[in-house]
Amino acid sequence: MSVLDNVDASTNLAKNNELQLLVFRVSENHESAFYAINVFKTREVVESRNHFLTQIPSAHPLLEGTIILRGIQIPILNLPAWLGIKLKKEDIAKSNILICDFNGIIIGLRIMSAYRVIKKNWNDMHAPDGYRLKEDGLVMNDTRLEDGSLCLILDYEKLLSDVIPQALVNVLDDVEDIKHLTIPDKLKNGTVLIAEDSRTAQKALTQIFAHADIDMQLFNNGKKLVDYVISLGDKASDIPAIITDIEMPEMSGFTVIQILKANPNTKNIPIIVNSSMTGENNKREAQDLGANGFIDKTKSHNIIPLIVETMQAVNK
């Protein structure tokens, strides 16, 4: 039986501010850290030795090559090397490949072994400031396993931006279109609030809003955004729009939507989900909870037109 069998539905988890993580190791060294990834970004784990690796000339050093899996050509990224760990030849022969899906971009991450799936509340996910001190930080947050072992959640979007930048958002894609938009006064004179914990995504959104000459304020997780909005009281109605990721420590984007849509002072603020978890279940859940829009992170360059469109729809 695969470690990915018997995974709960994402919609049930969302309602309880929970997530499920696939825990894995990248080294045979049992003193090495555990790492984890949201199971809804994973497809399966396959044995490396069963798949022929085709190398790509002049590729990024972390892009080992590609494999063919069920007719799909999948790039393989050397996750241990990204973390500064060099695997021996015998380790590589025993390693596994974790097949992941980011916004429909299928990649393989080399890992040593999949450990198991665990369920966590977002309150149990921590993002120490130390992880954010450097622009090139690889860790986003952490949690603890039952035996007290530390388990690190990495900024996989940063890995993608380092190795396959063309797979992520091009912040300049929509610059010309934005120039022809009629920006509502409330948006032009207001500040859009954004809950996003990925430094890579934060950087992209900052550039997009700067190009559009629209003010924004970033929060490193959903709880910080909600606490700020609630503190505004009646003045919260001045907020032109809110953008939230789904996966964040302390409070998920789904919980952000639930709380703000249930509050009389904030229920009419347009909320747009900007996420790499683009499955139909997640989109449906966001809509059912009251989100006014949903955009894939790889298409974040379209966020300003979507905000304008959403504000117009809400104000009709």
- Mean pLDDT value across residues 111-115: 93
CATH code of the region 175-314 = 3.40.50.2300
Name which residue leads in pLDDT, 215 or 281. 215
Per the DSSP assignment, residues forming a β-bridge with 120 are 19
pLDDT band per the 50, 70, 90 thresholds, residue 173: low
Give pLDDT, residue 188: 92
Instruction: State whether residue 226 is helix, strand or coil.
Output: helix
183 close to 192: Cβ distance less than 8 angstroms: no
Per-residue pLDDT averaged across 45-60, rounded? Answer: 92
pTM of the complete model: 0.78
Residue 162 pLDDT greater than 90, yes or no: no
Under CATH, domain 10-167 is a member of which superfamily?
Answer: CheA-289, Domain 4 (2.40.50.180)
What residues have CB less than 8 Å from 269, skipping those under 6 apart? 229, 236, 237, 239, 241, 242, 260
Q: What tokens were used for 172?
A: 């300049």
Per-residue pLDDT averaged across 25-30, rounded? Answer: 84
Q: Indicate the pairing of strand 18-25 with strand 63-69.
A: unpaired
pLDDT of 18 reads 85
Q: What's the mean per-residue pLDDT of the chain?
A: 87
CA angle, residues 35, 41, 43, in degrees to nearest 5: 100
- pLDDT higher for 30 or 29? 29
Domain boundary assignment for the chain: 10-167, 175-314
Q: Are 69 and 76 in contact (CB under 8 A)?
A: no
Region 91-120: mean pLDDT is 91
pLDDT 10s digits, 123-144: 888 877 666 555 667 888 899 9
State the DSSP H helix or E strand holding residue 166, giving kind and residue range, or none if neither.
Answer: none
Residue 175's pLDDT is what? 59
CA distance 242 to 39: 26
Digit-coded pLDDT (tens) for 241-262: 999 998 888 898 999 999 999 9
Q: How confident is the model at residue 9 (pLDDT cuts 50, 70, 90)?
A: low
Q: Do domains 10-167 and 175-314 have the same CATH topology?
A: no
Structure tokens at 189: 């004179």
**Cα(217)–Cα(192) distance, rounded to whole angstroms?**
6
**pLDDT band at residue 278 using 50, 70 and 90 as cut-offs:** low
Contact yes or no for 192/240 (Cβ under 8 A): yes
The pLDDT tens digits of the residues spanning 65-83 come to 999 999 999 999 999 999 9
